Structure 1
Amino acid sequence: MKYPKLKVGETPNTHVMESPITEADILQTAQQLGMYRLSKGRALTERRLVFSHLETLLQFHDYEVFALLLLDIEHRVIGFRELYRGTLESASVHPREVVKIALEHNAAAVILVHNNPSSYPEPSQTDRTLTTPLKNALNMVGTRILDHVIVGYKGCVSLAERGHL
């Protein structure tokens, strides 16, 4: 790439060209990278890396998304499935649908994940209440919930780390 020659007294800013790449392009590329990092067969060994990948996928949505990170017996990724999209404040989650997806993928374990598009990722009473029937339903079919992660603008919070599993 050739850069224009500057004249005496000119600053480089006078020659800045408008980029054809938009913010939406950058977000889409980041989400593709996040999905690649959670691609089938990858082992999830560090919680902070899982958080980083989930943040890349979910933190910039302006609506709530509830998803499952499906894992095999050795905690390798089987897949990542968005189950519900909601409003700014909520997404409706049904235990039977979560169990159905886990069984379809033969998941030995799952990580529940949802974003909190309007604030920090602090777990609400609703988040803690939702986790219990999902845990019970999945346990009945032999699938463990390893965590319920809430993604926000300022990082992730693990319900397992907070003692709510």
Structure 2
Amino acid sequence: MERQVASDCRVANREHFPVLARGHISQWSDSQLLGFILQQRHSPQSSLHIANQLLQELGSLHGVLNASQNVLCSVPGVGPKKYIRCQAIVELHKRTSVQHVERMMKLDSVDESKAFFISQLQYYQHECFAVVLLNSQHEFLHYRELFTGTINSASVYPREIVKYVVDYNAANVLIGHNHPSGSPEPSQADIAMTQKIVEALGLIDVQVLDHIVVGVGNAVSLAQRGCL
């Protein structure tokens, strides 16, 4: 009986996840990718049904990966373990991006800066303020997420940024934060906060190269907007 169940499961897997038999994972649909991650040992059909339901209710893969545990687990068939699997994907993506920058050594273009901050911040459901430290050659030194919550000029403390910069003897910094609403358009509060940080770091001869505001899959550079 167990052999028959295992055989049936292998057949079902080949039908619902064709890469196991042929082809390439890039050819999978969003529901197949998500279903494979969420699949239950003996029920690939059920995992595909759950994946389709999640995509229908949350709109996209980004919506699924960005959903809170309460929202995700409100879908029948999704429990804490499946939520953790989704969060593991996000964390793998973030760590891969940091390691890529560490190997590349430099973040010396606006496009590279945007891509990096998008990879780190776009999935947060709350605002998060982060800093990249660079040396005088714009080589990567360190990355840290310093503040979370409602990011404004009152909740971001320049002295904490100064301390972080001094600890690593950085010469330049990139700063970034996300807008959970999905729109990367900078607010007047964002611009005012940036100016406070520029002034604080200027006192120790450290330059703020850019402030990247992250939305869903896109970002705005305040340097390109002439706001630094």
TM-score interval, smaller chain: 0.7 to 0.9
CA distance in 2, matches of 1:32, 1:162: 29
Match of 2:138 in 1: 75
Q: How does 1:14-93 map to 2 (within 5 A)?
A: 19-20=36-37, 22-39=85-102, 42-87=105-150, 90=151, 92-93=155-156
Amino acid at match of 2:94: Q
Structure 1 position 12 matched with structure 2 position 15: yes
Q: How many aligned positions are there?
A: 156
Q: Give the aligned CA root-mean-square deviation in angstroms.
A: 2.5
Which gives a bigger RCO, structure 1 or 2 (Cα 8 Å, sep 6+)?
1
CA distance in 2, matches of 1:41, 1:104: 23
Look up the SS of the partner of 1:69 in the other structure.
strand
Flag the structure with larger Rg: 2
Amino acid at match of 1:64: E
Deviations 1:15-35 (A, max 9, x none): 98x635532221111111122
Look up the SS of the partner of 1:107 in the other structure.
coil
| Structure 1 or 2: more helix by fraction | 2
Look up the SS of the partner of 2:97 in the other structure.
helix
CA distance in 2, matches of 1:40, 1:105: 18
CA distance in 2, matches of 1:31, 1:124: 26
Structure 1: tracts of 5 or more residues without a match? 6-10
| Structure 1 or 2: more strand by fraction | 1
TM-score using structure 2 length: 0.62
Select which of 206, 209, 213 maps to 1:143. Answer: 206
CA distance in 2, matches of 1:14, 1:133: 52
Look up the SS of the partner of 1:114 in the other structure.
strand
CA distance in 1, matches of 2:140, 2:106: 6
